[in-house]
Amino acid sequence: MKRVATAVVLIPIVLLIVFRAPLWLFAAVVGVIALISTRECLGLTDAHGIKPARVLTYFFTLLLFASVVAAFVVEAAVSRLPASTLLRGVFPQEHPYLFFAFGATSLGRDCVLLAALVFLAAMMKREDLRSSLPGAAASALALAYISLPLTLLINVRARAAGAFYVFYLLVVVWAGDILAFLVGRAVGKHKLAPRISPNKSWEGTVASLAGATVLGTVILAHGNAIVEFVRNTNLLPAQPGSILSVGPYPTPHPLWVYLLLSVALNVAAQLGDLAESMLKRGAGVKDSGSILPGHGGMLDRIDALLFAAPALWYYAQIAATIGSR
């Protein structure tokens, strides 16, 4: 009952943020989710006797998200500058605030690499040097495993029809998760990965793949109609709401592209679910936390997104490259 009640409350809020929130607010919400999930992930290391660099991990998480927002600020500001200013290449001097945004952008670009080196340096002060490698590795993994994929989700949201594609991603992930649970519990007999997640079955996995693929393909094939419906209900603003959005509608592609993308997202989502189950199994815990009644921790709710969001981001990059030719 708690599981259903939490979903009923959270799903409308999530959809409202996806469609209506300005980019900075969307990024802030995702950043908070990343911090909570990172805390839970680092908590799983306690069962292994690993002590990560917690404060530094939180700091680099915030830095990474700040750099993403700074990049959008720079790109949006540069797009509004006259061509003569761009040709002279002096706009950082004429617009001093951009200098700081450029600094944050370039720093964030190499944030994960820089963080790994800082984590190693921070371990030098420990008395037990045997804990240095596991501690630095745990912190670096948390940053790459949680924060980096979530920043890619912000990148998708910032692009043309970004809100629609984030909505599509969430529906594919949610539908696959629900179908895997219901079908697996009803008729699941063949275990998928008993060492990692004893309750997952091949029957649930196949149902998840089939259902998410069909639903995802239908959503993409009717993308313009869905966007128009959402716009008519005032969930979308009259103008594209994200900084870099150049159009409110998804670009049409052949049906086989939609099929492949939906399959890829579902497979990635199921791998993400298994990966987090592996971490919890190794730590000997059922849930990563208890922040969401009936659902466990925040990491339990976004584990599939952490693998699926990069897959969608790569699709968006490829589609943008092809579309620019």
Q: Whole-angstrom Cα distance, residue 251 to residue 161? A: 8
Q: Tell me whether residue 300 is exposed, middle or buried, using C-beta atoms within 10 angstroms of its C-beta: 0 to 12, 13 to 18, 19 or more.
A: buried
242: Cα separation from own chain's centroid: 17
Which of residues 188 and 60 earns the better pLDDT score? 60
Give the closest residue to 276 by CA, choosing from 286, 261, 291, 290: 286
pLDDT at 246: 37
The domain limits of the chain are 2-323
Residue 168: both structure tokens together: 């599509």
Specify the DSSP element, H or E, that contains 288. Answer: none
Lowest pLDDT segment from 28-42, 237-251, 306-320: 237-251
126 near 135, Cβ under 8 Å? yes
Candidates 322, 216, 319; CA nearest to 267 is: 216
Strand partners, 193: 197
Helix (H, G, I), strand (E, B) or coil at 198: strand
Once rounded to an integer, what is the mean pLDDT over residues 46-72?
88
Q: Cα 282 from chain centroid? A: 24
Mean pLDDT of 9-33: 89
The answer to whether residues 101 and 91 touch, using CB atoms and an 8 Å cutoff, is: no
Distance set, CA 287 to CA 95, 181, 223, 294, 319 (Å): 49, 16, 36, 10, 37
Sign of CA dihedral 47, 51, 55, 60: negative
Cα–Cα distance between 240 and 247 in angstroms, integer?
A: 7
Residues in the chain: 325
| Residues 90-148 pLDDT 10s | 444 555 555 555 555 555 557 778 899 999 999 999 988 999 999 999 999 999 999 99
What is the pTM (predicted TM-score) of this model?
0.87
Average pLDDT over the chain, rounded to an integer:
83
Neighbours of 116 (CB within 10 A): 18
Give the count of beta carbons closer than 10 Å to the beta carbon of residue 290: 12
pLDDT the model gives residue 2: 60
Percent of the chain residues topping a pLDDT of 70: 80
Give the per-residue pLDDT at 291. 82
**pLDDT reading at 179 higher than 80:** yes
pLDDT of residue 56: 96
Structure tokens at 265: 């997202």
Region 59-67 average pLDDT: 90
Both tokens of 238, joined, read 């009259």
Sign of CA dihedral 60, 65, 69, 71: positive
- Tokens of residue 63, six digits: 């830095």
Q: In terms of Cα–Cα distance, which of 24, 44, 48 is closest to 244?
A: 24
The answer to whether 140 and 118 have CB atoms below 8 angstroms apart is: no
State yes or no: pLDDT of 86 exceeds 70: no
Rounded CA gap, 307 and 146, in Å? 9
Q: How far apart are the first and last CA of the chain?
A: 52
Report pLDDT digits (tens) over 224-274: 888 888 878 777 665 444 333 435 677 778 899 999 999 999 999 999 999
Residues 178-191 have a mean pLDDT of 91
Cα separations (Å) of 134 from 36, 60, 148? Answer: 21, 18, 20
